[in-house]
Amino acid sequence: MRKSLQEGTSFLFYDNTGNTMSCERKEFMEPRKNIMEYDTVALRDEEDAVAIIDQTKLPKEIQVILLKTAQEIWEAIYKLKVRGAPAIGVAAAFGIYVLAKKISAEEYRDFRKEFQKQKEYLDSARPTAVNLSWALRRMEQVVQENKDKSVAEIKDLLKAEAIRIQEEDIQVCRSIGEFGLTLLKPGDGILTHCNAGKLAASRYGTATAPIYLGQERGYGFRVFADETRPLLQGARLTAFELAASGVDVTLICDNMSAAVMKNGWVNAVFVGCDRVAANGDTANKIGTSVVAAVAKQYGVPFYVAAPTATIDLATPTGEEIVIEQRAAEEVTDMWYQTPMAPEGVKVYNPAFDVTSRELISGIVTEYGIAKPPYETSLRKMFEEKKKRGGTL
Ligand code: MRU
């Protein structure tokens, strides 16, 4: 039987200093300047810099930082100051442009050699999200295809391409939102994992795009955000941006998804992705595959929001996706006042897992909703992209 959310539930909300407070159904108090008014990533061309919101500081502090050197850009991606597959791609595109601008070589060959070096360095920051190498490859193509132009002209073309990558991301997310919305009805409960929101992309996010469009159109969705151990992207980022947008969001621990689904509170799961293999297997934040298995158990449809930039037809199955491993301290120490695990304990800390395609009800792209068998439906999305002149 469906239980009422109101019955005996208390909620945690952020106050306007970013601290949490426990209260019974209090209104969310907006921070002085709303997070939704900031660009997740922006080019500051006159300052030779990429500006990002430092996401490691959220929600306590909204701090915009400028990245100017290769090491600063690499580190910002590695340390998740900028994170989420599309946002990483945009940051890398602006980043490589900023670095290319500083290359002093005037000869094409020398410029290209230095460009290549910087590109490979940025590409090594994180292995799983394909958007990083995808965006850098697009930038590299600009250099390769304009051999006949002067270095100064190539730099201008690089800037234009990076801006295009960001603008396309906004359009892509909006289209995913429109297609995603067709899978939902007013009043639905939606569960999401990690942050595939505005903070992970340029505006609407991917998994959150149907939620934001629904919000604009008065759908009255109720969203459950998994906190997402160990780096708490769900608690720190998703709950923060959805609440700041006025969406009805409830934060739950990762081990509560079965409970909320069993209560009948969830009509659909929407998650983002870091790399979708050609057969539909999908890598996303660690814990996603658990949610998918639980959703199957309770008959809840499980959707992946995937820009075609995150679909990697060159990777045949999930088996071939490289999963980033991260530091043990993220599990043992981070967020705790004192370390909460015995010193020296063995830790396994993969940043992502692969959800098997059998558990995925549909993959929502900017060209439509791919359904099983994904080998054929995903290819069709790329055929459509080619037909419409999209950059492959
Ligand atoms: O480690 P993160 O925070 O970069 O992981 C992010 C995710 O897993 C997102 O769900 C994914 O990148 C999609 S973002 C639209």
Is 165 touching ligand 1 by the criterion CB < 6 Å? no
Identify the sign of the CA torsion 281, 283, 288, 289. Answer: positive
pLDDT of residue 302: 98
Which residues in the chain belong to E strands, given as ranges? 11-14, 20-23, 41-44, 49-53, 64-67, 189-192, 222-226, 248-252, 268-271, 275-277, 282-285, 302-305, 311-312, 352-355, 362-365, 368-370
Distance 80 CA to ligand 1 centre (A): 10
pLDDT of residue 32: 55
Non-local (6+) Cβ contacts of 37 within 8 A are none
Distances, alpha carbon 342 to alpha carbons 230, 333, 335, in Å: 17, 10, 16
- DSSP letter for 64, please: E
Is 131 touching ligand 1 by the criterion CB < 6 Å? no
Distance 46 CA to ligand 1 centre (A): 30
Is 80 touching ligand 1 by the criterion CB < 6 Å? yes
Consecutive 10-residue runs of the chain (392 residues): their mean pLDDT? Answer: 42 32 38 83 98 97 97 98 98 98 97 98 97 98 98 98 97 98 98 98 94 97 98 98 97 98 98 98 98 98 98 98 97 94 96 98 98 98 94 78
- Residue whose C-alpha is closest to residue 62's, from 91, 86, 38: 38
Q: Are strands 275-277 and 282-285 parallel, antiparallel or unpaired?
A: antiparallel
CB neighbours (10 Å) of residue 358? 10
pLDDT of residue 33: 78
Is 126 touching ligand 1 by the criterion CB < 6 Å? no
- Residue whose C-alpha is closest to residue 65's, from 158, 79, 204: 79
**Cα atoms found within 13 Å of the Cα of residue 146, Cβ hemisphere only:** 19
- Where is 379: in which H helix or E strand? helix 374-387
- Rounded Cα distance between 99 and 146, Å, is 18
Is 89 touching ligand 1 by the criterion CB < 6 Å? no
- DSSP letter for 124, please: T
Between 85-101 and 130-144, two packed helices, what is the crossing angle to 10 degrees? 30
- Rounded Cα distance between 61 and 90, Å, is 23
The answer to whether 302 touches 356, Cβ cutoff 8 Å, is no
Distance 4 CA to ligand 1 centre (A): 31
Identify the sign of the CA torsion 181, 215, 3, 269. Answer: positive
Mutate to test the pocket of ligand 1, among 82, 173, 195, 303 (most ligand atoms within 8 A of CB): 195
Catalytic-role residue among 123, 188, 226, 274: 274
The reply to whether 353 belongs to the active site is: no
Distance 284 CA to ligand 1 centre (A): 6
> Which atom in ligand 1 lies closest to the alpha carbon of residue 194?
10
